[in-house]
Amino acid sequence: MRIALLGQAAFGADVFKALQPRYDIVGVFCPPDSPKGKVDPLKEAALEAGVPVVQPRRMKDPEAYEEMKKLAPDLAILAFVTDIVPGRVLALPRLGSICYHPSILPRHRGASAINWAVIDGDRKTGLSIFWVDEGIDTGDILLQKEVDIGPDETTGAVYFNKLYPLGVEAIVEAVDLIAAGKAPRIPQDHSQATYEPPCDEKVAGLNWNQPGRGVYNFIRGCDPQPGATTSFRGETVKLFNAAFVPQAHSAQPGEILEVSPKGLKLAVQEGAVLVSRFRTKDLGKVKAEEFIQANNPQVGEKFGV
């Protein structure tokens, strides 16, 4: 079976390495090279294997369609694709196109599915391999895998420890099913769909007045990117590596309860969050002791003002 692989980064490279010994990968599509000169891991893996690499500026450019047509793949696989791939490109492969998505569709459609699962306090999430159509994560399901979200896991932990390795395995399983003629097409229940915007700087502002567990979930859901954003002494600060601490207090949300080598304990409703890593414009991302040394925060001062 002839396969065109669309993707990028380490995930795309690992999918390539898992499939290439088993199937004929006739071409790889990945983004243009970084201005800094860093070679994308997927491109690097493909070139090492002697597989042609196509790097259109955008997948909607005519180049992408023409190159896909020349390759004449039986199947296209989208493995970590952040660009919008036009329907006419996805329709070229004889057997269609499949995509990896890190949620149990139809829940958490969109570009930041793991972030929002953690922010929403979901106890479970997973991944879906689906047949791509013209919608955003709306295609028929081929297979799904479920994982638990630990009460203290960040978005980074859920992805790198669970959904990344499981995703590589699931794509191989899906391709095996297609090759055997046993791949299902299970329609999604669109009435149960949720869709959230990208978890970026536009939505990263931390609301201290929500329930304490909600504050904590937001911090870990924005960790490692984009970082839950608040302010301290009028300057923007991002919070990472938080822990929820149940305790009684009479402080205002965002108020510093304790300064210690472990971090800053900040008041929230029905408890506190102990934050052990911060990012500021001047310091960059630093451990709590460096933030404390630079700013000398005092008990009673407040974040978010």
At which residue do the structure tokens 């690097």 appear?
44
pLDDT in the model for residue 36? 84
Q: Is residue 59 part of a domain?
A: yes
Is the model's pTM score more than 0.85?
Answer: yes
Helix or strand or coil: residue 101?
strand
Q: Looking at the structure, tell me whether residues 48 and 168 fall in a common domain.
A: yes
Q: Looking at the structure, tell me whether residues 287 and 237 fall in a common domain.
A: yes
Give the domain CATH number at 259: 3.10.25.10
> Among 158, 192, 226, which residue terminates a domain?
192
Nearest to 89 by CA among 70, 69, 106: 69
Q: Looking at the structure, tell me whether residues 21 and 164 fall in a common domain.
A: yes
pLDDT in the model for residue 3? 98
Query: What are the CB-based long-range contacts (under 8 Å, 24+) for 65-68?
Result: 65/89, 65/92, 67/27, 67/29, 68/4, 68/27, 68/29, 68/92, 68/93
Nearest to 97 by CA among 119, 117, 73: 73
> Among 164, 192, 220, which residue terminates a domain?
192
Domain that holds residue 128: 2-192
Q: Is residue 136 part of a domain?
A: yes
pLDDT in the model for residue 130? 98
Q: Is 298 exposed, middle or buried (0-12, 13-18, 19+ CB in 10 A)?
A: exposed
Q: How far apart are CA 173 and CA 206, in angstroms?
A: 40
pLDDT in the model for residue 53? 98
pLDDT in tens, the chain (305 residues): 999 999 999 999 999 999 999 999 999 999 999 888 889 999 999 999 999 999 999 999 999 999 999 999 999 999 999 999 999 999 999 999 999 999 999 999 999 999 999 999 999 999 999 999 989 999 999 999 999 999 999 999 999 999 999 999 999 999 999 999 999 999 999 999 999 999 999 999 999 999 999 999 999 999 999 999 999 999 999 999 999 999 999 999 999 999 999 999 999 999 999 999 999 999 999 999 999 999 999 999 999 97
Q: Is residue 204 part of a domain?
A: no
Q: Looking at the structure, tell me whether residues 13 and 108 fall in a common domain.
A: yes
Q: Looking at the structure, tell me whether residues 128 and 157 fall in a common domain.
A: yes
Q: At what angle do helices 41-48 and 9-19 cross, to 10 degrees?
A: 30
Q: Is residue 124 part of a domain?
A: yes
- DSSP-derived pairing of the beta strands 75-79 and 97-101: parallel
Q: Looking at the structure, tell me whether residues 166 and 40 fall in a common domain.
A: yes
Provide DSSP, 14-73. HHHHHHTTTSEEEEEE-PPPPTT-PPPHHHHHHHHTT--EE--SSTTSHHHHHHHHHH--
Q: Looking at the structure, tell me whether residues 126 and 259 fall in a common domain.
A: no
Longest dimension (CA), the chain: 68
Q: Looking at the structure, tell me whether residues 25 and 113 fall in a common domain.
A: yes
Q: Is residue 207 part of a domain?
A: no
Q: Looking at the structure, tell me whether residues 233 and 159 fall in a common domain.
A: no
Cα-trace Rg, the chain: 22
pLDDT in the model for residue 305? 78
